C-alpha cells in the first residue's frame, strides 16, 4: 500500500453507510424484476452482488446508478431519500458505473473516450494537453501501457475494459459500481484492478461489485448481497460467508421446473462432429472441435458461462454461422451445407437467444409470428388459405399455451414469457425432429420458465423430439435434461448424467474455481 502515502486519507469509520436501498422494487410491465431489496453500502468498502442471470443484479445496478427509476421503494444517499433523473444526475451525486457492455466510442482515441461528455474546457476550446496528461497518469496507475492517442477500436477487449475503468476513476466518484469488470481481463490485469480497488477503498470510495467469478469476488469483497429471481435471499459480511453459502443462496432449492420425461429414446437425431467455428477476429476458435449427439426423445442441456461458445455452436448447427470445419448430421443426412430454410425443412430448428433481435417480428401479430416458418403448410396453389392458417395458429396457441386474446393481437402486447412461447411455437409448428434452444429461459419469470420446460419435456416424450437447450443457470440443468454437457472456452469440459450435482457442474464450467 505504498500508493497510500502519497494521498491524504480522509478520516471515516468503516460503519458509515453512504447509500442504502429500502424495499426497492421494479416492474417491467407485468414482470417483476426486483421484489423489495434492502441493503447498505458502507463507506470505503466493497459490496458484491451475487446472483444468476436474470436474478435482478443488472436492474438493481441500473437503479443505483440512476439509469432507471424504481417502481417503489427508496434509495437513500447519506440517509436522505434521493430520486435520480438519469445517469448524469447520479454522477453529479458522485455515483458512477462501469458497464459490462463497454460504452466506448471505438472511433475516438483513449483520451477522448475518458473525457467524453466532461471535456476540460478553456475559452478557446478543449485543453487536450491536460486531458492527455491525466489520461497518461491514469494508465500508469492501472499499470497499462496504452498511449492516450490510440483509437479505442485498436485495443483488445481487456484494454478497452481498462479504458472504461479509467473513465470511471477520472470521474472521482465516491460510489463506483462495477458490472463484471473482470470478464475480459487477464489474471495479471485482474490483480492490478484489485490493487486499484484497494487504493480506492482506502481513500473512502465505496465499490459495488458484480462478478460471476465467485472466488475472485470473495477475494476483495467486504459484504455480499445475494439475489435470486428478483428477491434478495441473503446479505452478510465477508467474515460469515463462503462459496457454498453463496451458491446455496444463489441457486436455492430446486424449484419445480418440470421433470425428466420418460421418453423412448431412438437413434441419434442430431450428430455434431468436430465442429469448429472461428471467432470474430478470425484468429481463434469460439467453437473448438465439438462432438456431441442427441437422440430422438432425448433432452440434453448445455451449461456454460457467457462466451463459452454455446450460442455460436447452436447458430452454426442451424446454418446462421459458417463452420470452419466439421459436420452437422440430422439422422443420417449431412446438413452441413444446407441453408437455414433447408435445415428447417429437413427438421432442424433453432430458437435463438435474443428473442427481440432474432426471434420476433415486432410489426406483426401473434398469429403471423407463429405461422411464419410454416407458410407452406397453409398455402394452396399460389395463395395462402386463411381458414387453414387460422387453424394452424389456433392449434399452436393451444399447444404452447400462449396467453393472448387472439392470434390478431400485436406481438408486443404479450409478456416476455408468452413471447418466448410464440418463438418456440413457431418452430414447433414446422414439425421438427430436432430443436435447439439457446437460453430459452432468458428474461422470463419463474412461472413461465416452468411452463417452457414442461412444454419441452412433453413434446420430447410425445413426438420423440430431440431437444438441445443451453442455460447459464445451473438449476435449469437438473430439471428436464437427461444429460448435461458443460462447455468452457469453446470446448466440452465435462459431461454428466442427470445425477450430477450443482457443484460438479459449476466447477466444470470454470466458474467458482481457483484463481
Residue from 127, 327, 384, 504 in contact with other proteins (CB under 8 A): 384
Residue from 201, 211, 311, 373 in contact with other proteins (CB under 8 A): 373
Q: Closest separation between CB of residue 315 and other proteins, Å?
A: 9
Strands 325-330 and 268-278: antiparallel
Q: Closest separation between CB of residue 394 and other proteins, Å?
A: 18
Helix (H, G, I), strand (E, B) or coil at 230: coil
Report if residue 364 touches other proteins, rule: CB under 8 A.
yes
Report if residue 379 touches other proteins, rule: CB under 8 A.
yes
Q: Closest separation between CB of residue 352 and other proteins, Å?
A: 6
Q: Closest separation between CB of residue 372 and other proteins, Å?
A: 5
Q: Which is nearer to other proteins, 133 or 322 (CB)?
A: 322
Provide the 8-state DSSP code for 375. G
Q: Closest separation between CB of residue 396 and other proteins, Å?
A: 13
Give the binding range for other proteins (CB under 8 A) out of 107-115, 165-173, 249-257, 355-363. Answer: 355-363
- Which stretches within 294-385 are classed as H helix? 310-318, 340-346, 366-370
Q: Closest separation between CB of residue 76 and other proteins, Å?
A: 32
Cα 214 → chain centroid: 16
Strand partners, 434: 348, 466
Q: To which H or E segment does residue 20 belong?
A: strand 17-28
Cell representation of residue 263: 421418453
Q: Closest separation between CB of residue 130 and other proteins, Å?
A: 39
Report if residue 490 touches other proteins, rule: CB under 8 A.
no
- CA torsion sign for 230, 26, 240, 213 is positive
Q: Closest separation between CB of residue 362 and other proteins, Å?
A: 6
Question: What would the x/- binding string for other proteins be over residues 409 to 448, using CB under 8 A?
Answer: ---x-------------x---x------------------
Report if residue 185 touches other proteins, rule: CB under 8 A.
no
As separate numbers, helices (DSSP H) first and strands (DSSP E) second, the chain gives 17, 24
What does the alpha-carbon distance between residue 362 and residue 411 come to, in Å, rounded to a whole number?
6
Length of the chain: 515
What does the alpha-carbon distance between residue 361 and residue 369 come to, in Å, rounded to a whole number?
7
Report if residue 129 touches other proteins, rule: CB under 8 A.
no
Q: Which is nearer to other proteins, 364 or 494 (CB)?
A: 364
Q: Which is nearer to other proteins, 373 or 459 (CB)?
A: 373
Report if residue 338 touches other proteins, rule: CB under 8 A.
no
Q: Closest separation between CB of residue 50 and other proteins, Å?
A: 33
Give the binding range for other proteins (CB under 8 A) out of 9-17, 184-192, 241-249, 382-390. Answer: 382-390
- Cα-based distances in Å from 67 to 84, 91, 96, 113, 501: 8, 10, 11, 20, 38
Q: Which is nearer to other proteins, 372 or 507 (CB)?
A: 372
What does the alpha-carbon distance between residue 178 and residue 48 come to, in Å, rounded to a whole number?
9
Give the binding range for other proteins (CB under 8 A) out of 260-268, 295-303, 371-379, 458-466. Answer: 371-379
Residue from 10, 11, 376, 497 in contact with other proteins (CB under 8 A): 376
- Asked whether 259 and 482 are in contact (CB, 8 A), the reply is no
What does the alpha-carbon distance between residue 7 and residue 24 come to, in Å, rounded to a whole number?
36
Cell representation of residue 14: 468503516
**Per-residue b/e over 347-374, b at no fewer than 16 CB within 10 Å?**
bbbbbbbebeeebbeeeebbbbbbbbbb
Q: Which is nearer to other proteins, 48 or 371 (CB)?
A: 371
Q: Name 377's Cβ contacts closer than 8 Å, sequence gap at least 6.
A: 388, 392, 429
Report if residue 368 touches other proteins, rule: CB under 8 A.
yes
Q: Which is nearer to other proteins, 160 or 368 (CB)?
A: 368
Other residues' Cβ atoms within 10 Å of the Cβ of residue 147: 13
C-alpha closest to that of 370 among 410, 319, 311, 317: 410
Residue from 215, 219, 279, 358 in contact with other proteins (CB under 8 A): 358
Q: Name 344's Cβ contacts closer than 8 Å, sequence gap at least 6.
A: 373, 430, 432
Q: Closest separation between CB of residue 433 and other proteins, Å?
A: 15
Report if residue 321 touches other proteins, rule: CB under 8 A.
no
Residue from 67, 76, 236, 372 in contact with other proteins (CB under 8 A): 372
Residue from 7, 116, 149, 361 in contact with other proteins (CB under 8 A): 361
Q: Closest separation between CB of residue 277 and other proteins, Å?
A: 17
Provide the 8-state DSSP code for 109. B
What does the alpha-carbon distance between residue 135 and residue 253 come to, in Å, rounded to a whole number?
48
Report if residue 280 touches other proteins, rule: CB under 8 A.
no
Report if residue 501 touches other proteins, rule: CB under 8 A.
no
Report if residue 344 touches other proteins, rule: CB under 8 A.
yes
What does the alpha-carbon distance between residue 226 and residue 209 come to, in Å, rounded to a whole number?
12
Q: Which residues bind other proteins (CB under 8 A)?
A: 318, 320, 339-341, 344-345, 350, 352, 357-364, 368, 371-373, 375-376, 379, 382-384, 412, 426, 430
Amino acid at each position: 500500500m505504498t500508493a497510500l502515502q502519497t494521498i491524504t486519507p480522509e478520516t471515516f469509520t468503516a460503519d458509515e453507510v453512504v447509500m442504502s436501498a429500502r424495499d426497492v422494487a421494479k416492474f417491467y410491465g407485468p414482470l417483476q424484476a426486483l421484489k423489495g431489496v434492502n441493503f447498505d453500502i458502507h463507506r470505503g468498502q466493497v459490496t458484491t452482488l451475487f446472483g444468476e442471470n436474470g436474478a435482478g443484479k443488472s436492474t438493481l445496478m441500473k437503479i443505483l446508478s440512476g439509469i432507471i427509476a424504481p417502481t417503489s421503494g427508496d434509495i437513500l444517499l447519506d440517509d436522505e431519500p434521493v430520486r435520480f433523473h438519469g445517469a448524469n444526475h447520479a454522477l453529479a451525486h458522485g455515483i458512477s458505473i462501469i458497464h459490462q457492455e463497454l460504452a466506448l466510442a471505438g472511433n475516438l482515441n483513449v483520451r477522448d473516450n475518458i473525457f467524453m461528455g466532461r471535456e476540460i474546457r478553456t475559452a478557446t476550446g478543449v485543453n487536450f494537453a491536460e486531458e492527455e496528461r491525466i489520461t497518461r497518469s491514469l494508465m500508469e496507475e492501472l499499470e497499462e501501457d496504452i498511449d492516450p492517442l490510440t483509437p479505442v477500436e485498436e485495443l483488445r477487449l481487456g484494454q478497452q475494459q481498462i479504458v472504461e475503468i479509467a473513465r470511471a476513476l477520472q470521474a472521482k466518484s465516491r460510489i463506483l459500481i462495477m458490472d463484471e469488470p473482470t470478464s475480459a481481463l487477464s489474471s495479471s490485469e485482474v490483480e492490478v484492478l484489485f490493487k486499484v480497488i484497494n487504493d480506492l477503498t482506502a481513500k473512502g470510495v465505496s465499490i459495488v461489485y458484480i462478478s460471476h467469478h465467485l472466488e475472485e469476488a470473495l477475494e476483495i469483497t467486504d459484504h455480499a448481497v445475494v439475489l435470486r429471481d428478483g428477491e434478495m435471499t441473503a446479505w452478510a459480511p465477508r467474515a460469515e460467508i463462503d462459496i457454498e453459502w453463496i451458491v446455496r443462496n444463489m441457486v436455492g432449492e430446486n424449484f419445480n421446473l418440470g421433470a425428466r420425461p420418460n421418453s423412448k429414446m431412438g437413434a441419434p437425431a442430431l450428430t455434431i462432429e468436430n465442429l469448429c467455428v472461428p471467432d470474430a477476429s478470425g484468429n481463434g476458435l469460439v467453437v473448438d472441435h465439438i462432438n456431441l449427439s442427441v437422440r430422438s426423445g432425448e433432452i440434453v442441456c448445455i451449461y456454460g458461462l457467457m462466451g463459452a461458445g454455446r450460442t455460436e455452436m447452436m447458430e452454426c448447427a442451424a446454418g446462421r454461422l459458417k463452420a470452419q470445419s466439421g459436420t452437422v448430421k440430422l439422422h443420417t443426412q449431412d446438413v452441413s451445407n444446407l441453408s437455414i430454410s433447408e435445415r428447417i425443412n429437413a427438421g432442424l430448428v433453432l430458437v435463438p437467444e435474443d428473442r427481440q433481435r432474432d426471434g420476433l417480428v415486432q410489426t406483426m401479430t401473434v398469429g403471423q409470428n407463429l405461422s411464419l416458418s410454416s407458410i407452406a403448410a397453409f398455402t394452396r396453389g399460389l395463395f395462402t388459405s386463411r381458414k387453414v392458417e387460422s387453424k394452424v395458429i389456433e392449434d399452436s396457441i393451444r399447444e404452447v399455451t400462449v396467453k393472448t386474446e387472439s392470434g390478431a393481437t400485436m406481438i408486443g402486447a404479450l409478456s416476455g414469457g408468452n413471447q418466448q412461447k410464440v418463438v418456440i411455437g413457431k418452430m414447433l409448428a414446422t414439425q421438427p425432429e430436432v430443436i435447439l434452444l439457446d437460453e430459452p429461459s432468458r428474461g422470463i419469470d419463474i412461472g413461465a420458465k416452468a411452463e417452457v420446460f414442461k412444454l419441452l419435456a412433453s413434446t420430447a416424450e410425445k413426438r420423440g423430439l430431440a431437444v438441445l437447450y443451453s442455460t447459464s443457470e445451473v438449476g435449469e440443468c437438473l430439471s428436464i435434461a437427461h444429460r448435461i454437457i458443460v462447455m468452457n472456452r469453446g470446448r466440452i469440459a465435462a459431461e454428466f448424467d442427470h445425477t450430477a450435482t450443482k457443484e460438479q457442474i459449476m466447477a466444470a464450467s470454470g466458474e467458482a474455481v481457483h484463481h
